[in-house]
Structure 1
Amino acid sequence: MSSTRLGNLLGTALRQQRQRRELSQRQLAGLAEVSQAAVARIERGERSPGIPALERLFAAMDVQLVVAVEPLDAHLDARIDELAARPIGERIDELGLDEVLDRLPDLPQVLTGGTAALLQGAPVPVDAVEIALRWEDSKRFTAWLEANYGQRWNARWEEFGGVWLEPEEPGEHRWSTRYGEIRATMCDELPETIEVRHGGRDYRVVPLVELELTEPRAADLLRRYRARRSAPES
């Protein structure tokens, strides 16, 4: 594991714990007696923090770091195996998918990315509802975001907020909302879909074979899962 990857992992863990407790960077910095700038740099992975500072930051949130070693990418294998063993309905509920879809009834959209893969039984990690939207509906989508406390992902600062909300503006099509995180693929026309059914509900999704051609991350994880399934047991 390179120091850059470790720094990113530590920064992500710190940000997730802070957001889970609904603390601002300034509030956490005050509790841990460090500067807000230091918290921001750590969360962005730009600074390799000292152990005492890290311990103070996590202790301020009543948690502690646990250090372990593992083979490279072993966490992916463990995560894929864990997801493969869980019911799809449970993962749908955890993602909050139905709640998001119920709030987007007037916006033509289809499910894509990891969300579509999940609904077709693929054991890929999904941490946001992924949809495809038409460019012609971007203003309506922006209005929906404004009404539901949307904040757009700021790649420079690696946090939500501080950039234009509208999909037409440059940047990642990724937002936090009152219903969770949403990622959008903006297109001229919606892609071809199939219907899958879970828990008495129909979902329009991009077919898995198409996802494997257009979604490199999902394709890599699927290949990894299939390789593990076909490998002889030791």
Structure 2
Amino acid sequence: MTLRYQALPRMAHHAGMSSRLVTLLGTTVRQQRELRELSQRELAELVGVSQAAVARIERGDRSPSVPLLERLLAAMDLQLAVMVEPLDAQLDARMAELAARPLAERVSDLGLDRILDRLGDLPHVLAGATAAALQGAPVPVDAVEIAVRWRDSARFTAWLRTAYGQRWHDRWGEFGGVPVEPEEPGAHRWLTRYGELRAVMCDELPETVEVRHGERGYRVVPLIAVELADPGAAGLLRRYRSRAHPAATDRTR
């Protein structure tokens, strides 16, 4: 197993980086375990930990220590190797991979409906990178992003509780241990039983357009508004365009 540590040439969102690394580690452990036809309990017994600990690591709920990760891998006749690469190299490769896939397939992989169907009548619209992806932009989407009005905060909080929501704790770099209410200080980011959810809290919902995929329509913030309101998504879109159409990008500078 080779673990790539990405060199950061500029300021990065460390919480997001940590989350992606934990997810990568958990996915790798699960894939290697399944390749060897081991159950979580069998792997746990080989390593001397609980089955619940293995489950949390595979779900990305827990970041394993390096010694524990090495023991897990050694139990499957694997070892950890580390290399470094520029941060942007992996991002460019990811966007290129997304651009090469059919849009319908990319939308299906987002798993939107699992969360949206359970939001029920809570007023919301799709925003950020999620809205951009639904409009065809080949940008990575780590969580479903929605806009919610502040006056609907109590309803949103009630939904989060029924969905067993855990809020992201910036200091600890993990979910849990902080109040779920959007009014409380902290990132508007939650892990629910239906997947990860991020919210933009606003006084009024932004104007939307409808995009259709298959039999379903989605209310999304228009792409131009996403670029104006979401610096992260705007940066991804500019980066993709600069590599997909470098000559056109140079002419606009």
- TM-score calculated relative to the size of structure 1: 0.77
**Is 1:211 paired with 2:229?**
no
Aligned residue runs from structure 1 range 106-121, under 5 A = 106-121=121-136
- Matched AA of 1:214: A
Structure 2 CA distance for partners of 1:80 and 1:11, relative to 1, 3 Å: closer
Aligned residue runs from structure 1 range 21-36, under 5 A = 31=49
Name the residue aligned to 2:36: none
Displacement of 1:117 in angstroms is 0.4
Displacement of 1:140 in angstroms is 0.8
**1:92-118 deviation line (CA, Å, top 9, x unaligned):** 322210121111121110000010000
Greater alpha carbon shift after TM alignment, 55-64 vs 180-189: 55-64
Aligned residue runs from structure 1 range 44-63, under 5 A = 55-56=70-71, 58-59=73-74
**Is 1:96 paired with 2:111?**
yes
Equivalents in 2 of 1:128, 1:81: separation in Å?
19
Secondary structure, aligned partner of 1:130:
strand
The alignment of Structure 1 onto Structure 2 pairs a total of residues equal to: 214
Could you tell me whether the CA contact under 8 Å between 1:14 and 1:58 is conserved in 2?
no
Equivalents in 2 of 1:71, 1:154: separation in Å?
27
**Is 1:13 paired with 2:13?**
no
Displacement of 1:201 in angstroms is 1.1
Identity of aligned residues (%): 62
Displacement of 1:18 in angstroms is 4.4
- Matched AA of 2:21: A
Equivalents in 2 of 1:161, 1:76: separation in Å?
28
How big is the alpha-carbon RMSD for the aligned residues of Structure 1 and Structure 2? 3.5
**Is 1:192 paired with 2:207?**
yes
Greater alpha carbon shift after TM alignment, 64-73 vs 91-100: 64-73
Equivalents in 1 of 2:130, 2:112: separation in Å?
9
Name the residue aligned to 1:155: 170
Aligned residue runs from structure 1 range 39-188, under 5 A = 43=63, 55-56=70-71, 58-59=73-74, 64-71=79-86, 73-188=88-203
Could you tell me whether the CA contact under 8 Å between 1:195 and 1:203 is conserved in 2?
yes
Greater alpha carbon shift after TM alignment, 210-219 vs 130-139: 210-219
Equivalents in 1 of 2:175, 2:182: separation in Å?
14
- TM-score calculated relative to the size of structure 2: 0.72
- Matched AA of 1:163: V
Equivalents in 2 of 1:214, 1:95: separation in Å?
22
